[in-house]
Amino acid sequence: MKPLYKAWLIQIEITNACTHQCANCTRFVGHHRKPYFMELAMVERAIDSLAGFRGGIGIMGGEPTLHPEFPEICAMLRRKVSVEKCGLWTSGYKWEEYKDIIKDTYKLGVYYNDHSDPEQRHQPVLVAIDEVIDDKNLMWRLIDDCWIQKKWSPSINHKGGFFCEVAAAQDILLDGPGGYPLDPGWWDKTPEQFQDQVKRYCVRCSGALPMLRPSNQERKDLISPANYERLKALNSPKILRGDYEIWDRKLDEEALKHVKRWKPWQYLGFFEKRKKDLKLDEIWLIRGFHGLRRLFNRVRGFFASR
């Protein structure tokens, strides 16, 4: 695992409300009885806690534009942070209403993904690795090499700061103890310093587990037995509707070798597949995000190596 201060970006997840209910959503949309909307005072604390962080600041959900105070959040970012550091993750909802605000605020780029393509696949993170892997030495080796922690980002939600986006969402879903207090520099942690969260959340997740991934257009989530019991006890709406399938297999090191081309960090090229349907200003934002991200990572890597 890598230190949090080396992350390329930290997300502020202002809501877990969404316009979609994709299968195996990494924010567990559909399992919550009521979504949250982060209060403006908490958003301000989150932004202030990232003072000195060299990476970017993301605004994410759920669908962030569903937040009733989204324009105020954007204005707060413009007052407090260089807009060159700010990025937005959205399905394009309310684009026509907010596009001018978005363009003025998120110069790092806008990651557009409407989740409409059935070929997009989500890692089924409700499959708990500790239920699948009996060899615990193997399990911890896989967790230590988790692509989510390496390629995605730490996260802040209304319960505090987390070393991983999925861990943050899991804490909400399973009524966990909350994240790190948002004191200035809370993110200045090495892997040894956030092992409490690793041990609490990673064992209940399949992020590090090579396995087949279903289309996000499937109706049912894949869930391991113990996670199913946890969600059943919490009266998850998706469980009550029967929108789940129990995944109760066991895998060992030999079996994992047969999982071919497992690259869950590679989503579809949404820009390439949908550019004919997008307006020029939308295309610019998508292209701008990917180009800036590549440039940002190269510059960060250059200075990290010196």
Q: How far is CA 151 from CA 2, 36, 228, in A?
A: 10, 26, 28
101-133 as b/e, with b when 16 or more CB fall inside 10 Å? bbeebbbbbbbbbebebeebbbbbbbbbbbbbb
What is the predicted pLDDT for the residue at 284? Answer: 42
Residue ranges and CATH numbers for the domains of the chain are 4-259+268-304 (3.20.20)
| CA pair distance 26, 270, nearest whole angstrom | 19
Distance of CA 214 to the CA centre of its chain: 18
Average the pLDDT over each of 9-13, 68-72, 227-231, 271-275 and give the range with the smallest value.
271-275
Cα angle 295-290-214, degrees, rounded to a multiple of 5: 135
pLDDT digits (tens, 9 = 90+) for 260-292: 677 777 655 433 333 344 443 544 444 344 444
pTM of the model: 0.86
Whether the Cβ atoms of residue 159 and residue 179 lie closer than 8 Å to each other: yes
Q: 138 is written with which tokens?
A: 């193997």
User: How far apart (Å, rounded) are the C-alpha atoms in residues 91 and 180?
Assistant: 29
* Band of residue 82 on the pLDDT scale cut at 50, 70, 90: very high
